[in-house]
Structure 1
Amino acid sequence: MTRGYAAGTETVEPSVKDGSRPMRLASLLISLLPTKRNLTGTDWVNSKYPGRTYPSMAAIPWTFRQTHTIQEKRVDGVRTLTVRPLLGGTRSHIVYTHGGIYINELSRPHWWIIAELTRRTGAAVTVPLYRLAPESTYREAFPYLVSVYREVLRTAAPDDVTLMGDSAGGALAIAQPWAFRDAGLPAPGRIVAFSPWLDVTATNPSIPKYDAVDPMLSVGGGVQAGLWWAGGDDPRTSLVSPACAPDDLLATVPVTRIYQGTRDVCMADATVFRDRAVAAGADVTLNVYPGAFHVFPAFPRLPESREVYADIAAFLGRPPLP
């Protein structure tokens, strides 16, 4: 089903015929929604987001509340949640940064991801509700994420911490250790990223071939959101676009697993990041799922998603409680 690579430049070409039957059906249903048709160009972001009422995160599902403890605190004044499974807990602690092209709040599918992570790994999961663009930028987000990590290290050893995220949140997961190092903090044990958005400029010449078969995403609005997130700085700066980071930073990336589908515009830059990081000496594995769409693990019942979560559980090792 999967093709995982630790190095090299080989990739899987995008095709609507690839993937399991449930994956192909899910992709078809997504393609029938008006999402991508309505999100071409930049008019939709420019008309909807500047001056908006700041959004709220999706409500925690009531079923989730029955199986987890939920702790809420303010870190640097920003709402921050930590959830723990009532049964089967382990020493693992995940810091999960949600996606949403830096302009959308945590959504219901993110809770599905978090629920599956806790079920498979027994980990506690801290969810930083970082402030979004265009109201905020990466310059405010990273000091907050450093403070969140400091709080996590009060109860967890660095080696037991995994940074995870999807899409924009996957880029945050990959870039955070660079901010931690600058703050004098130890690196986390590992990183897991689902379909990370690793270069907000979308200048990779391979993007159009993935865009042609991506049932969900379009490029133009994402580039505008990335510019808001960069806040007037170069959008290729490392904390905004990790695929553009210099070799000396790429060499310091903790052991990383990326789970990426080929029907996803983010595939192009995931390959660039993997190749550059490995060439710099980092341990980065890109697990490629032919025919899979953007952040497909948000649908945990797909065969490909079940394989992803099983691999993550093995990656974290499900360490026993003391």
Structure 2
Amino acid sequence: MTNGSAPSESIEPSAQDGSRAMRLASRLISFLPTKKQLADTDWVKRTYGGRSYPAAAAIPWTFKQKHTIQETTIDGVRTITVRPVLGATRSHIIYTHGGIYINELGRPHWWIIAELTRRTGAAVTVPLYRLAPESTYREAFGYLVSVYREVLRTAAPGDVTLMGDSAGGGLAIAQPWAFREAGLPAPGRIVAFSPWLDVTGTNPQIPKYDAVDPMLSVAGGVQAGLWWAAGDDPRTPLISPACAPATLLETVPTTRIYQGTRDICMADAAVFRDRAVAAGANVTMRVYPGGFHVFPAFPRLPESKEVYADIAEFLGRPALP
């Protein structure tokens, strides 16, 4: 793992690094059609432009055995809160799922959430924000402000952690700016897995990561980002936090980013980390050589176990085996 303070230029992509399990998982992922599909903007437009709106993955029955589950409607949007039956703590996580703003919460997201509750004892609220192209970032942030306001009815701001992966990681990092605008206190901390922090895809470092990324391509993401922006400048901070001015970056709560080097999101995560630290924010990025996009979705990987142990410590919970 690379030290969290390492400069972005020292972090190089590699298909050979990482544990044997990580390399095998990357190899298996490379056989999926996802990367080829996302490289084709026309495919993305055809597939998502006239679709039927997708449903979120069902909560696994094994998950239901160990958690209480509360479903509510906030601003007309389904919102789920899960709590571990045993070992609950004061921590409350708001988890925004990834999917380049066009895909619903999937089964691997439940694997992440299950590991988070096991490791931290936290309650987890899962906002099923409306997706692009049917909806935009404007509606999403209005809804997320309402979700946070509801969480604060039972949790102190300092006990709240915003978490997310990929696009949801970008949402986690940007939400405090929307909360501040709404007059709400900042949450205690942020955790982001492979956050997508600049939807323009213009970072000149991206191609070298794209060459070894087994999952993602730039073109489809840029199209999804344009849908999400809905005509606004895609460099708007709520859309692309890496582009935020220093006056916003200095207000970022204590943040921990977990990032792999076989991931096109690595380039902009490094830019965000460097700019936020320069502005005075406490942002640490743990870099895992050979890690693919959102690798903690596979909790049994050695690197993932290290990530969850670090998160437990970050949230003040003793390590579990």
Separation of aligned partners in 2, 1:217 and 1:278: 27
The amino acid across from 1:188 in the alignment is P
Matches within 5 A, 1:1-322: 2-6=1-5, 8-318=7-317
Question: Which amino acid counterpart does residue 49 of structure 1 have in structure 2?
Answer: Y
- Secondary structure of the structure 1 residue equivalent to 2:226: helix
Q: Structure 2: where are the runs of 5+ without partners?
A: none
Distance 1:174 1:34 in 2: 29
Does the CA contact (< 8 Å) of 2:37 and 2:44 recur in 1? no
Specify whether residues 15 and 7 from structure 1 end up closer, same or farther in structure 2 by C-alpha distance, changes over 3 A only: closer
* Amino acid aligned to 1:26: A
Q: 1:232 Cα deviation (Å)?
A: 0.4
Shift in Å, 1:220: 0.3
Change beyond 3 A, Cα 1:9–1:293? closer
Displacement of 1:4: 2.7
What is the distance in 2 between the residues matched to 1:177 and 1:220? 29
* 1:221 positional shift: 0.5
Contact 1:261 1:294 in 2 (8 A): yes
Letter in 2 for 1:30: I
Asked if the contact 1:258–1:285 (Cα under 8 Å) also holds between the matched residues in 2, the reply is: yes
Shift of 1:37: 2.3
CA spacing shift, 1:97–1:202, aligned 2, 3 Å:
same
Residue 94 of structure 2: SS of its match in structure 1?
A: strand
Cα deviation 1:42-95 (Å, max 9, x = unaligned): 012100111211000001000000000000000011000000000000000000
Q: Deviations over 1:160-213 (max 9, x none)?
A: 000000000000000000000000000000000000000000000000000000
TM-superposed deviation, 1:313: 0.1
SS in 2 for 1:43: helix
Query: CA RMSD of the aligned region, Å?
Result: 1.0
One-letter amino acid matched to 1:78: V
SS of the equivalent of 1:252 reads coil
Say if 1:41 and 1:219, in contact at 8 Å, map to a contact too. no
Please say if residues 6 and 283 of structure 1, whose CA atoms lie closer than 8 Å, have aligned partners that are also in contact.
Answer: no
Letter in 1 for 2:28: L
Give 1:316's aligned amino acid: L
TM-fit CA distance, 1:233: 0.1
Distance in 1 (CA, whole Å) between partners of 2:122 and 2:80 is: 14
Structure 1 residues 267-320: Cα deviation after superposition (integer angstroms, max 9, x where no partner): 00000000000000000001100000000000000000000000000000039x
Give the distance between the partners of 2:60 and 2:258, measured in 1 at CA. Answer: 25
- What is the CA deviation profile of residues 220-250 of structure 1, one whole-angstrom value per residue up to 9, with x for unaligned ones? 0000000000010000000000000000000
Query: Structure 2 vs 1, CA of residues 230 and 53 (structure 1 numbering), >3 Å: closer, same or farther?
Result: same
Cα separation, 2, equivalents of 1:10 and 1:222? 24
Q: TM (normalized to structure 1)?
A: 0.97
The separation in 1 between residues aligned to 2:98 and 2:10, in whole angstroms, is 24
- The answer to whether the 8 Å contact 2:38/2:221 transfers is no
For 2:96, give the aligned amino acid. Answer: T
Amino acid at match of 1:50: G
State the one-letter code of the partner of 1:141.
A
TM-score (norm 2): 0.98
Kindly indicate whether the alpha-carbon contact (under 8 Å) linking 1:36 and 1:216 is maintained by their aligned counterparts in 2: yes
Q: Which amino acid aligns with 1:181?
A: R
Unaligned runs of 5+ in 1: none
